[in-house]
């Protein structure tokens, strides 16, 4: 009888030790997973005007009338959002852009940019209720910023310098453009990769 109790006790202790090892291993894996899924900013392409450089100056006619000036000094930030009427992700982000513009107010000018045939964009502009936002059509603008995939966004500050840019597929990636500007880095990913961030997380 005593031998059976001793054996069962030993088995229980072995089970507890095995569980402890599993918990430690899982904790380590969670830490590695956290590093891998750290917040990702907009995917910045290393082409076109670099972050910190002066943005090229454009004066473009806007759908619905008027002229839009991109680049040069202004009263606040300008977010240029490159989109297409046939891009489903672009359409998904339109409510996010509207919300962002409402939150920022006069501190932000939102400019929608694309190229192609004007009638198609006029129809899209009406369907998506975008009449209050400047909407420009310019193939040259996209080429100067080397926009190869959509949706793409460029944040220009009041001094006319590019502060952040990249491919944006979510609200988080749009917000990361402003976070990068606030942190004074080219992108949120640069900040996460910096030794300072590594020390803070240690």
What residue segments make up the domains of the chain, in order of their start? 2-37, 58-193
pLDDT at 1: 61
Question: What's the angle, vertex CA 113, arms to CA 119 and CA 106, rounded to 5?
Answer: 120
CA dist 190 and 183 (Å) reads 10
Helices (H), the chain: 2-36, 88-104, 118-127, 139-144, 171-183, 188-193, 195-201
The pLDDT, as a whole number, for residue 198 is 46
Please choose, from the candidates 162, 21, 170, 36, the residue with its C-alpha nearest in 3D space to the C-alpha of residue 93: 170
- What residues contact residue 181 under an 8 Å CB cut-off, 6+ apart? 77, 155, 157, 163, 164
Q: Look at residue 45 in the predicted model and tell me its pLDDT.
A: 62
CB 166 within 8 A of CB 179: no
Report helix angle 171-183 to 88-104, nearest 10. Answer: 50
Low-confidence residues in the chain, pLDDT < 50: 34-39, 197-199, 201-202
Q: How far, in Å, CA of 186 to CA of 202, rounded?
A: 23
Top-level class of domain 58-193: alpha beta
For the segment 130-179, what is each residue's pLDDT rounded down to a tens digit? 999 999 999 999 999 999 999 999 999 999 999 999 999 999 999 999 99
């Amino acid at each position: 009888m005593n031998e059976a109790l001793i054996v069962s006790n030993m088995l229980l202790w072995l089970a507890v030790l095995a569980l402890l090892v599993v918990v430690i291993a899982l904790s380590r894996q969670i830490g590695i997973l956290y590093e891998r899924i750290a917040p990702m900013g907009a995917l910045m392409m290393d082409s076109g005007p670099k972050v910190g450089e002066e943005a090229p100056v454009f004066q473009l006619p806007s759908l619905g009338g008027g002229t839009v000036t991109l680049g040069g000094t202004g009263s606040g930030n300008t977010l240029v959002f490159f989109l297409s009427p046939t891009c489903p992700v672009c359409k998904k982000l339109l409510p996010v852009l509207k919300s962002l513009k409402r939150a920022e107010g006069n501190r932000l000018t939102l400019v929608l940019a694309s190229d192609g045939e004007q009638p198609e964009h006029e129809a899209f502009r009406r369907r998506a209720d975008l009449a209050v936002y400047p909407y420009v059509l310019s193939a040259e603008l996209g080429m100067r910023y080397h926009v190869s995939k959509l949706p793409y966004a460029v944040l220009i500050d009041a001094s006319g310098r590019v502060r952040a840019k990249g491919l944006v597929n979510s609200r988080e990636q749009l917000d990361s453009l402003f976070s990068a500007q606030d942190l004074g880095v080219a992108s949120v990913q640069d900040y996460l990769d910096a030794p300072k961030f590594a020390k803070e997380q240690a």
